Amino acid sequence: MDCLFCKIINREIPSDIIYEDEHVVVFKDISPQAPGHVLLLPKKHIGTLMDIKPEDAQIFGHIFKILPEVATMIGGDEGFRLVANCYESAGQSVFHIHFHLLAGRNFGWPPG
Ligand code: 5GP
Ligand code: ZN
């Protein structure tokens, strides 16, 4: 499958992976928008948040289970932001589900 993030997961494209387990990989965003900016994604290829199936529930439960640990790894103890863009209109540019985890600065609201 011609998917950038599947290639990163399969080590066909290099990245700075900070956490990995059976279901999940976390690597540094190539264009960081905060001092700590990583992408947290399921190893399973799912294109968008709108493509999640009932049988995927365990994977997303797992993602939230490891979230505090990963947030701490990038300096998120004092606060962090979790963002998921769905479809181009919301800013999605890679069509393999990923959560942006950002930390290390203050964040404004509403988001742009
Ligand atoms: P989206 O725009 O889909 O919400 O997020 C995609 C993210 O992937 C962007 O923040 C972009 O900087 C990041 N990105 C795109 N290509 C690469 C790459 O080759 N390596 C890494 N580490 N990040 C990438
Ligand atoms: Zn993929």
For residue 75, the domain's CATH number is: 3.30.428.10
* Nearest residue (CA) to ligand 1, atom 18: 30
- Residue 16 CA: nearest ligand 1 atom is 22
Q: What digits encode the pLDDT tens for the residues 10-44?
A: 999 999 999 999 999 999 999 999 999 999 999 99
Which pLDDT does position 23 carry in this prediction? Answer: 97
- Residue 84 CA: nearest ligand 1 atom is 4
DSSP label of 11: T
Provide the domain count of the chain: 1
**Is residue 12 situated within a structural domain?**
yes
Pocket of ligand 1 (CB under 6 A): 4, 13, 15, 27-31, 39, 85, 91-94
Indicate the pLDDT class of residue 78, thresholds 50, 70 and 90: very high
Determine contact, residues 28/18, Cβ cutoff 8 Å. yes
Across the chain, mean pLDDT equals: 97
Q: 14: domain range?
A: 4-103
* Cα Dmax for the chain: 39
Determine contact, residues 92/85, Cβ cutoff 8 Å. yes
**Is residue 82 situated within a structural domain?**
yes
Q: What digits encode the pLDDT tens for the residues 81-111?
A: 999 999 999 999 999 999 999 999 999 999 9
**Is residue 108 situated within a structural domain?**
no
